[in-house]
């Protein structure tokens, strides 16, 4: 059905360079003539606390996240009702919009909009997530660095749109909901496969770093419940004895630079399980680089996000590569530099394995955003073989997991392609490149329930920014 979609028969010049040609019967209108912001405060209402998620829209925070914010005073929060269009002002540049189906209260830093004329609000939720509109929102957002930019209502309101008739808006929304559910199901199946493959990897890694390579080696109790028995000749050692541990400097956001020639600052948001991503960058003047040499990152340093270190795809720890330097360490990020007794790749296996996650889970501090301290990192106890044995373990784990890594990479590539197809399809439909009116009229009846995903982004783009709490934490970190 999707492959049979065709363009409209006639188009016209919109007069807006970035909009280009639009269907001839579509109207040109600015957002402010369609929606108005409402400042509806919660007052003394005992409302449910809501979160704006990427993959599932507006949800009660208890369903949106494993972490629950402890907020005693909700009176200053905004009262959100079904049908409200919600915008995260700090994340509008990444398409953080949703239509609420719940009544509750949301962050006072969010914006609530109601239509001023009859419109299909769900159509605009799709439209405002498209790259074409997101680019306009990014250009109109104010601040330093994308993570700290806000899109204010007057700047949001002046953006021009090409608007289909009301009935067509509903047809487009219906078709996209149908197509979106199907694409999400494919993605979900790939995510389940990746999870199974990763569990197999964890079994291999856990066995190697706690028991070694010889299945017949004599064992002894480690004295640590989550570590169990270890080889008799291994030693239980606190990680802090084997590493140089450094946490970042509290660079102030008002000193951030937008010059691409300046030095990148590594924030927690840049660290994902297994890699660093620099699509959201803040920088510090290169002229001051020499003043912060102790926070400089080197090749093969290990870096760990200390705020919310565990996300759905694993522990936020990574090796620093040549593509990641030069860069400086921002606060709430830990740099772990192994000393001579500890092989870097062996340390990396341990930190990415279940034993470290199991150690961290019960000792997190913080309510809304789980946090670990340098003392907790240094206090982690590992079973330490000789450096020569560590090297052999690293090589054998690499051999045993190569096939699993290939399969995981293939599944991730397929997920990325599905995401790209989904984004392109939605963009082409809501901007009038493809006509779905006939297709929408012949859709089979389905339950209108969104397909849940582990994440709404490919692994390499995993922001997992599913609530105002994440943005608040990053803002405070700076």
**Which of the two residues, 68 and 74, has the higher pLDDT score?**
74
Q: Are 12 and 24 in contact (CB under 8 A)?
A: yes
pLDDT tens digits, 279-337: 888 999 999 999 999 999 999 999 999 998 888 778 899 999 999 999 999 999 999 99
User: For 74-101, what is the mean pLDDT?
Assistant: 90
Per-residue pLDDT, averaged over 370-398, amounts to: 94
Residue 141: Cβ within 10 Å count? 20
As a whole number, the mean pLDDT across the chain is 87
Label residue 41 by pLDDT band (50, 70, 90): confident
pLDDT at res. 299: 94
Most confident of 222-226, 362-366, 378-382: 378-382
Residues 409-453 pLDDT 10s: 999 999 999 999 999 999 999 999 999 999 999 888 765 555 555
Q: Report pLDDT for 27.
A: 96
Q: Tell me what percent of the residues of the chain surpass a pLDDT of 70.
A: 88
Tell me the domain boundaries of the chain: 2-189+411-477
pLDDT of 4 strictly over 80:
yes
Read off the pLDDT of residues 104-150 as tens digits, 9 standing for 90 and up: 889 888 999 999 999 999 999 999 999 999 999 999 998 765 556 88
**The predicted structure's pLDDT at residue 466:** 38
Is residue 29 scored above 90 in pLDDT? Answer: yes
- The per-residue pLDDT for 178 is 92
> Which pLDDT belongs to residue 457?
41
pLDDT computed for residue 446 by the predictor: 62
| CATH code of the domain made up of 2-189+411-477 | 3.90.220.20
Predicted pLDDT of residue 368: 62
What digits encode the pLDDT tens for the residues 173-227?
999 999 999 999 999 999 999 999 999 999 999 999 999 999 999 999 998 887 8
Look up residue 213 and give its two tokens.
């390579």
Judged against a pLDDT cut of 90, whether residue 395 lies above it is answered with yes
pLDDT tens for residues 151-161?
Answer: 999 999 999 99
Query: For the residues of 144-177, what is the DSSP string, one character each?
Result: SSGGG-B--HHHHHT-EEEE--HHHHHHHHHHHH
* pLDDT at residue 364, as a whole number: 75
* Residue 10, pLDDT above cutoff 90: yes
Looking at residue 49, what DSSP letter applies? B
Q: What percent of the chain has pLDDT over 90?
A: 67
Q: How confident is the model at residue 44, as a pLDDT?
A: 63
Which token pair is 171?
């047809």
Long-range contacts formed by 63-69: CB under 8 A, 24+ apart: 64/466, 64/467, 65/466, 65/467, 65/469, 67/308, 67/367, 67/368, 67/369, 67/370, 67/469, 68/367, 68/368, 69/367, 69/368, 69/469
Question: Do residues 75 and 42 make contact, with C-beta atoms less than 8 angstroms apart?
Answer: yes
DSSP, res 66: S
pLDDT for residue 475: 38
- Give the strand pairing for 314-315 and 310-311: antiparallel
Distance CA 399, CA 382 (A): 23
What are the structure tokens assigned to 188, written together?
A: 């979900």
CA–CA separation, 170 vs 440, rounded Å? Answer: 9
Quote the Cα angle for 55-57-63, to 5°. 85
Q: How confident is the model at residue 358 (pLDDT cuts 50, 70, 90)?
A: confident
Higher pLDDT, 62 or 149: 149
Greatest mean pLDDT range, 1-15, 234-248, 349-363: 234-248
The stretch 456-470 carries a mean pLDDT of: 37
pLDDT at 449: 55
For the residues 385-393, what does the mean pLDDT come to?
96
């Amino acid at each position: 059905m999707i492959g049979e979609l065709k363009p409209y028969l006639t188009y016209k010049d919109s007069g807006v360079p970035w909009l280009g040609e639009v269907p001839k019967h579509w109207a040109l209108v600015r957002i402010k003539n369609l929606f108005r912001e409402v400042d509806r405060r919660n007052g003394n209402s005992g409302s449910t606390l809501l979160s704006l998620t990427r993959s599932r829209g507006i949800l009660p925070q208890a369903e949106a996240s494993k972490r629950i914010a402890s907020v005693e005073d909700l009176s200053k929060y905004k009262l959100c009702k079904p049908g409200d269009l919600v915008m995260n002002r700090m994340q509008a540049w990444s398409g953080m919009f949703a239509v609420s189906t719940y009544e509750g209260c949301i962050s006072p830093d969010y914006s609530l909009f109601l239509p001023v004329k009859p419109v299909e609000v769900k159509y605009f939720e799709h439209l405002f997530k498209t790259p074409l509109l997101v680019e306009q929102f990014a250009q109109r957002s104010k601040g330093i660095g994308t993570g700290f930019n806000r899109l204010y209502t007057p700047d949001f309101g002046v953006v021009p749109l090409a608007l289909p008739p009301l009935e067509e808006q509903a047809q487009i929304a219906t078709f996209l909901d149908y197509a979106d559910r199907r694409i999400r199901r494919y993605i979900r199946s790939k995510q389940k496969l990746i999870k199974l493959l990763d569990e197999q990897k964890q079994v291999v890694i856990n066995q190697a770093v706690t028991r070694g390579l010889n299945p017949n080696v004599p064992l002894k109790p480690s004295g640590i419940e989550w570590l169990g028995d270890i080889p008799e000749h291994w030693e239980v050692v606190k990680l802090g004895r084997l590493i140089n541990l450094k946490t970042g400097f509290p660079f102030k956001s008002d000193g951030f630079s937008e010059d691409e020639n300046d030095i990148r600052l590594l924030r927690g948001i840049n660290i994902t399980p297994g890699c660093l991503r620099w699509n959201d960058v803040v920088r510090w003047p290169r002229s001051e680089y020499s003043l912060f040499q102790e926070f400089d990152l080197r090749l093969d340093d290990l870096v760990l996000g200390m705020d919310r270190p565990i996300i759905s795809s694993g522990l936020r720890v990574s090796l620093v590569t040549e593509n990641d330097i030069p860069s400086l360490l921002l606060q709430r990020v830990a740099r772990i530099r192994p000393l001579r007794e500890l092989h870097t790749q062996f340390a990396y296996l341990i930190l990415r394995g279940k034993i470290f996650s199991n150690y961290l889970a019960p000792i997190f501090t913080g309510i809304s955003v789980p946090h670990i301290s340098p003392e907790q990192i240094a206090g982690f106890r590992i079973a330490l073989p000789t450096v020569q044995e560590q090297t052999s373990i690293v090589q054998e784990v690499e051999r045993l997991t190569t096939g699993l890594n290939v399969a995981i990479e293939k599944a991730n590539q397929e997920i990325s392609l599905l995401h790209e197809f989904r984004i392109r399809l939605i963009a082409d439909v809501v901007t009038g490149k493809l006509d779905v009116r006939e297709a929408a009229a012949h859709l089979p009846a389905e339950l209108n329930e969104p397909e849940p995903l582990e994440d709404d982004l490919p692994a390499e783009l995993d922001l997992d920014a599913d609530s105002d709490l994440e943005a608040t934490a990053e803002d405070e970190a700076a």
